[in-house]
Structure 1
Amino acid sequence: MSKYSTIILEKDNKIARLILNRPEKLNALSMQTFGEFKDALEDLAADDSISVVILKGAGRAFCAGLELSPEARIEHQNLSYVQDRLRLQHNLARFLQIWDLPKPVIAQVHGYCIGAAVEMVSLTDITIVSEDCQISWPRMLLAAGAEGPFWLPLVGIKKTKEYSFLRGIPVLGTEAVRVGWANRAYPLDQLEKEVEAIAKEVAKIPLEMLSTEKAAINRAQELTGFRQSLAIGMEYDNMVRLTPASRNAIQRVIDEGHKEAAKWRKERA
């Protein structure tokens, strides 16, 4: 019996498949998912029989971002400044496990990839998307500051600002490839086959070589201040959650649900 209930971890001939498995919630990231995700990545880091990891979502979406249930938002709203900062630091640490994993991670993105899921995928090594997938930040702005540093080294400052300011307008998979956020786009019915083929090619390279290549490239990127910029973004996100605008937005989600709150925000604009 699997020790996981919100993810699936499969291992087969040098390839692991880490599958977000809450399809009824569009694989939204709960605190339990974060914990299981951490444990699975620690398992994969220690397993020298695995050379490459495919990260994907079950059902009709890759991931809808952080869980936005009223219960989750009430819990977040009641956190103190220090507690919320620790929460954000823990979330970032989970995503950085992907960056630090001593083997390549390939993201297979279809359907929706929203909010925190964008941050997660931005730290993978290769991103393959369906042509019609929708990548975006939630229209209902609950906080600000965290997401930009994830986009910046991939798409540049102008596109980062465009995507940050024009929230809720999805970037299609084909555009994600064009601007540099993703590597390749395929029709949805070909996506899994193409990702598996890429993973098999990567797995032919000895793990020692793969691990060294990834470490060298990441180290060079970190010399630009990349890791520090992610931490700074989280600090800004933490600060803005104390503002009336953020508190009011969170309360509206709690009272009305995310869909109605997003509709209100759109009509108000």
Structure 2
Amino acid sequence: MIKMSEPIVLVKKHAPLGTIILNRPEKRNALSKVMIEELEQALRDLHGEKSVRAIVITGAGSAFCSGLDLAEMHAAVGEDDAFERWREDVVRLRDLFEQILRFPKPIIAAVNGPAVAGGAGLVLAADFAIASPEATFGFPEPKRGVISGICAPLLTFRVGGAHAARMLMMAETISAERAAAIGIFQEIQPHEKLWARGMEIAKEIALSADEAIQLTKRMLNETIGETLETFLSAGAAASATSRTTEAAAEGMKAFLEKRDPKWPGS
């Protein structure tokens, strides 16, 4: 008998909570093209579930999400249509973040482990985040020769320009405690209690009128954060451009080969 592999995005419903699990633990839940498509579909499916009042997004295994799949990115290096493929990748990620921001129900990131690069962006796109002590958070892209253009507006929106500048320019990865101190994580919970805490939050949300919660989220993300979509598009263009450089080719190659990069001109 052929054993069927598990889906790379799992969806569970325990009203009033819906749970989405990124399920590529062997790849640290890296966001492949297929995984992004399935995550978008999972959100569409839970959108129509009236009994679901809030969504938890979490990761399988020891990581939350390591960002875009660098193996897929590196495969395009040297191809005639490389820039177009890179542009499609970052636009797809931008569209996912915008879907989360526009989603009418509150989304909680339950950060069970490292959330870096695009994975950190998922956390920032969510309405709030709870994390285990093992969680880390950061933007290592410059150390790979690229930039975190799509995540930069979200980071600035959540924590302000000073914290964003330090994290993005130093390519920092910070602890759960530090992330909580600057407002990225709202709570730190033991790993085994993350989902239960998500359920508690969903039950609290369910005590309020559905329409009031939807309007509150729209007010925050579309009024106070009215420039976010413009900045996300500009960030996507900058990210795609950064991938065309010699530094990007060397950075991604070095990362996949598990060695220090040798930057052009150094």
Normalised by the shorter chain, which TM-score bucket? 0.7 to 0.9
SS in 1 for 2:131: strand
Aligned length, in residue pairs: 258
1:186 has 2:189 as partner: yes
Q: Against the structure 1 CA distance between its residues 144 and 204, is the aligned structure 2 distance closer, same or farther, given a 3 Å change threshold?
A: same
Distance 1:218 1:56 in 2: 22
Query: What's the counterpart of residue 166 of structure 1?
Result: 170
- Write the deviation string for residues 33-86 of structure 1: whole angstroms up to 9, x where unpaired: 0111111111122222211101111111111111223x5521365343334223
State, as a whole percentage, how many aligned pairs show the same letter. 25
Distance 2:262 2:102 in 1: 37
Provide the TM-score with structure 1 as the length reference.
0.87
Q: Against the structure 1 CA distance between its residues 265 and 47, is the aligned structure 2 distance closer, same or farther, given a 3 Å change threshold?
A: farther
Deviation of the 1:163 alpha carbon: 0.7
Amino acid at match of 1:87: D
Deviation of the 1:242 alpha carbon: 2.1
Which deviates further from its counterpart, 139-148 or 45-54?
A: 139-148
Deviation of the 1:265 alpha carbon: 6.3
SS in 1 for 2:76: helix
Query: What's the counterpart of residue 152 of structure 2?
Result: 148
Amino acid at match of 1:165: M
Query: What's the counterpart of residue 138 of structure 1?
Result: 140
1:211 has 2:214 as partner: yes
Which of 192, 213, 224 is equivalent to 1:221?
Answer: 224
The CA RMSD over aligned residues, in Å, is 2.4
Q: Is the 1:15–1:203 contact (alpha carbons within 8 Å) kept by the matching residues of 2?
A: no
Q: Is the 1:143–1:240 contact (alpha carbons within 8 Å) kept by the matching residues of 2?
A: yes
Deviation of the 1:200 alpha carbon: 1.9
Amino acid at match of 1:184: E
Which of 78, 82, 86 is equivalent to 1:84?
Answer: 86
Provide the TM-score with structure 2 as the length reference.
0.88
Query: What's the counterpart of residue 258 of structure 2?
Result: 259
Distance 2:22 2:217 in 1: 24
Q: Is the 2:16–2:51 contact (alpha carbons within 8 Å) kept by the matching residues of 1?
A: yes
Q: Against the structure 1 CA distance between its residues 133 and 88, is the aligned structure 2 distance closer, same or farther, given a 3 Å change threshold?
A: same
Uncovered stretches (5+) of structure 2, i.e. residues with no partner:
none
Q: Against the structure 1 CA distance between its residues 153 and 258, is the aligned structure 2 distance closer, same or farther, given a 3 Å change threshold?
A: farther
Q: Is the 2:29–2:63 contact (alpha carbons within 8 Å) kept by the matching residues of 1?
A: yes
Uncovered stretches (5+) of structure 1, i.e. residues with no partner:
none
Amino acid at match of 1:241: R
Distance 2:78 2:160 in 1: 33
